[in-house]
Amino acid sequence: MFLLVTFGSISNPKKMKRTFALLALISCSTILFSCGGKKNDPTPEPPAAGSSWKLGNYTYTRGASSQGSSGGLAGVVVTTSGDGGNHGVYSGSALDAYFIAALGAGKYTLTSTTVMSANTGTRYMALTCVVGTAVTTGAVSYAATATSGGTADVTVDASGKYHVNISTPVTLVKTAVTGGGIPGAPDTYSLTVKDAY
């Protein structure tokens, strides 16, 4: 489910900080609503061929997604469906990418939301990957940081949808634990993304 929220002008740093706090809250709600879904949930759209992401040794296939832009920010949220890759406690994942909509297609440097909000004229992307969303035991969130480095390529298709690709692995850092988390989950993971949209 995608929630379109009006965030306000990106030229105001205080509003940008509130924007990113709200985005973090939306990402956390993705975890809560994804964990232990009811069996009578509507059938999600079928996975798009080739649309996937890999966190460490775990590969996740796109099951559903949403995207849009508001208040100067563009966002792409991609989630798994069903057993979420059948990776035990690592089953299920959600990938969230946010960037400044006005900067359009191009190569974006991964960084923290704080750095992105302070540099609205630079192609920076805030990215989070949550794992463990298909189980009820807990989930762990990994995110790009101010020192992550690495890049993501953003393209726009004929229907106006954003596509995100990360071909060279980038390092994400554990930033949040939900429920019981995942025992033994490492502090960092490498991530690659193939055509998330």
H-only helix segments in 94-138: 113-118
User: Which tokens sit at 157?
Assistant: 């298709």
Domain boundaries, the chain: 13-196
Determine what percent of the chain is predicted with pLDDT higher than 70: 75
What does the pLDDT look like over 24-68, one tens digit per residue?
Answer: 444 444 433 344 433 333 344 444 568 999 999 999 999 999 999
Residues 6+ apart with CB under 8 A from 29: none
Q: What are phi and psi of 22, to 5 degrees?
A: -65, -40
Is the pLDDT assigned to residue 146 strictly greater than 70?
yes
| Backbone φ, ψ for residue 181 (5° rounding) | 65, -155
What is the rounded CA–CA span in Å between residue 92 and residue 133? 5
Q: What is the pLDDT of residues 82-118, one digit of tens each?
A: 999 999 999 999 999 999 999 999 999 999 999 999 9
Give the pLDDT confidence score for residue 49 in this predicted structure: 60
Given a cut of 70, is residue 163 above it in pLDDT? yes
Q: What 8-state DSSP symbol labels residue 86?
A: S
pLDDT of 43 reads 40
Q: What is the pLDDT of residue 50?
A: 87
Distance CA 55, CA 76 (A): 17
CA distances from 184 to 5, 90, 174 (A): 36, 11, 12
CA dihedral in degrees (127, 75, 90, 41; nearest 10)? 170
pLDDT, position 28 = 41
